[in-house]
């Protein structure tokens, strides 16, 4: 039986608050991966990866290159198609090495999924050239780097397709996005969910927000029965899935996209993404990141994986590398510090023979690399409490 920890004292992901909203009127919009690109909103980032791979012609038996250090949502869409993930090594600084990609497979893969971890743009020029030379479709995973740029241009434009995860940057019920510098196929638009499903999405967003208000938690408890009745009355069903017209487009899809494969995001999630995030919110993210990084700079038991922020980095999380995982991970979790780690890798990744030899970082960082929130919705009290608990525990 797994260890039970208390709920965190601050939200790990954005929730709807006064300083954590889509861009308000009069605010300047920060650059993001969707601007100037064709896009298609999906129910999740994982669904966006699956859709990109299907449009790339990936089918059962094909190989798809994917980093060995991954979360399950990166590998699962490959397996759903029936393709085989070919894992490639990443460096201790989470950079992708071109020779590691070339050694990861003995045959030409159909596609390659390329990540930008924690909002820090990964050098992609050599990988992009290798994909062009080998005829491999490059899918740029911008789930962590929705707001980051390189020389003033948002990341995500080097591949045939880019994918993003809206929940990591907006107060939504979920949501992902497939985008491209080129026009996406006509008809490639998931049908919108029913209005009852849209109502459910809004209830979820409200619950997420109320949980972090002192009086709101009591309200959630008191209205539990009423909310359950509302959900039943709305007759919530699975979201309507992608129009079968997508399977009839001119894109070289080797097999028709089956029904119930990719569903749409809620209208709220899509509206948030189209509205964008303010430059003020991005600066607050950066400030929160540096505050946390500075707080642990003198700690003996941990260090920020990336202690400095480049001018164009809009961080998703603060990656904190522990000296040893225990007892410090459990102490922080027991104190309610909002942290994640990728210790629950995909079963496919964990079952890969000689994983430690292939990519030592994967197992090591799965235990020692923590992820702490730095989103703009953190209150000053929450931010200072995070810093205080880190210094007390890791000094």
Q: In the chain, what percentage of residues exceed pLDDT 70?
A: 84
11 located within any domain: no
29 located within any domain: no
Residue 161 shares a structural domain with residue 224:
no
Reported confidence tier of residue 72, pLDDT bands at 50, 70, 90: confident
Residue 357 shares a structural domain with residue 266:
no
How many alpha carbons lie under 13 Å from residue 172 in its C-beta half-sphere?
Answer: 28
Residue 188 shares a structural domain with residue 199:
no
How many alpha carbons lie under 13 Å from residue 253 in its C-beta half-sphere?
Answer: 21
Whole-angstrom distance, CA of residue 14 vs CA of residue 90: 28
- Give the pTM: 0.88
Residue 130 shares a structural domain with residue 250:
yes
pLDDT at 262: 76
Residue 271 shares a structural domain with residue 312:
no
pLDDT at 253: 34
Residue 131 shares a structural domain with residue 264:
yes
pLDDT digit string (tens) for 339-361? Answer: 999 876 656 665 665 555 678 89
6 located within any domain: no
Contact of 390 with 295, CB cutoff 8 Å? yes
8 located within any domain: no
pLDDT digit string (tens) for 80-137? Answer: 999 999 999 999 999 998 899 988 887 889 999 999 999 999 999 999 999 999 999 9
Specify the CATH number for the domain of residue 260: 3.40.640.10
Beta strand ranges found along the chain (DSSP E): 38-42, 63-67, 84-88, 111-115, 137-141, 149-150, 153-154, 161-165, 176-180, 302-304, 317-322, 369-373
332 located within any domain: yes
- From 275, 300, 325, the end of a domain falls on 275
17 located within any domain: no
How many alpha carbons lie under 13 Å from residue 388 in its C-beta half-sphere?
Answer: 9
pLDDT at 156: 96
Residue 209 shares a structural domain with residue 271:
no
pLDDT digit string (tens) for 157-208? Answer: 999 999 999 999 999 999 999 999 999 987 787 777 788 888 889 988 998 8
pLDDT above 50: residue 239: no
The predicted model gives 301-318 an average pLDDT of 97
Checking phi first, is residue 135 left (phi over 0); if not, alpha (psi -120 to 50) or beta?
Answer: left
Mean pLDDT over all residues of the chain? 86
Residue 131 shares a structural domain with residue 51:
yes
Residue 251 shares a structural domain with residue 285:
no
Whole-angstrom distance, CA of residue 299 vs CA of residue 303: 7
- From 255, 275, 295, the end of a domain falls on 275
More confident residue, 218 or 315: 315
Domain count, the chain: 3
More confident residue, 273 or 212: 273
149 located within any domain: yes
13 located within any domain: no
Residue 140 shares a structural domain with residue 227:
no
Residue 136 shares a structural domain with residue 167:
yes
Domain range for 311 is 279-394
pLDDT above 60: residue 243: no
Residue 378 shares a structural domain with residue 319:
yes
């Amino acid at each position: 039986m797994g260890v039970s920890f208390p709920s965190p004292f601050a939200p790990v992901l954005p929730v709807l608050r006064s300083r954590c909203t889509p861009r308000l009127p009069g605010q300047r919009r920060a650059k993001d991966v969707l601007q100037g690109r064709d896009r298609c909103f999906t129910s999740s980032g994982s669904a966006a990866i699956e859709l990109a791979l299907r449009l790339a012609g990936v089918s059962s038996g094909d190989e798809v290159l994917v980093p060995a250090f991954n979360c399950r949502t990166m590998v699962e869409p490959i397996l759903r198609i029936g393709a085989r993930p070919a894992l490639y090594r990443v460096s201790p600084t989470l950079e992708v090495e071109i020779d590691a990609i070339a050694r990861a497979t003995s045959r030409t893969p159909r596609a390659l999924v390329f990540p930008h971890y924690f909002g820090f743009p990964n050098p992609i020029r050599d990988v992009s050239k290798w994909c062009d030379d080998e005829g491999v479709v490059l899918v740029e995973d911008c789930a962590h780097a929705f707001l980051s740029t390189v020389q003033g241009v948002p990341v995500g434009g080097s591949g045939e397709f880019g994918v993003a995860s809206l929940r990591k940057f907006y107060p939504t019920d979920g949501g992902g996005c497939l985008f491209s510098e080129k026009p996406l196929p006509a008809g490639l638009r998931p049908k919108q969910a029913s209005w009852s499903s849209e109502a459910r999405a809004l209830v979820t967003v409200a619950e997420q927000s109320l949980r972090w208000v002192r009086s709101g938690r009591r309200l959630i408890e008191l209205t539990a029965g009423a909310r359950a009745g509302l959900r039943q009355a709305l007759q919530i069903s699975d979201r309507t899935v992608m129009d079968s017209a997508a399977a009839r487009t001119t894109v070289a899809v080797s097999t028709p996209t089956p029904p119930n494969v990719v569903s749409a995001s809620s209208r709220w999630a899509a509206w948030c993404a189209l509205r964008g995030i303010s430059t003020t919110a991005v600066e607050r993210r950066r400030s929160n990141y540096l505050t946390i990084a500075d707080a642990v700079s003198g700690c003996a038991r941990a260090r920020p994986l990336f202690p400095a922020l480049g001018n164009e980095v809009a961080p998703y999380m603060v990656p904190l590398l522990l000296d040893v995982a225990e007892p410090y991970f459990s102490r922080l979790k027991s104190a309610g510090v909002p942290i994640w780690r990728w210790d629950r890798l995909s079963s496919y990744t964990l079952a890969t023979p000689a994983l430690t030899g292939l990519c030592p970082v994967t197992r090591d960082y799965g235990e020692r690399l923590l992820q702490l929130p730095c989103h703009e919705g953190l209150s000053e009290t929450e931010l200072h409490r995070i810093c205080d608990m880190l210094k007390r525990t890791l000094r």
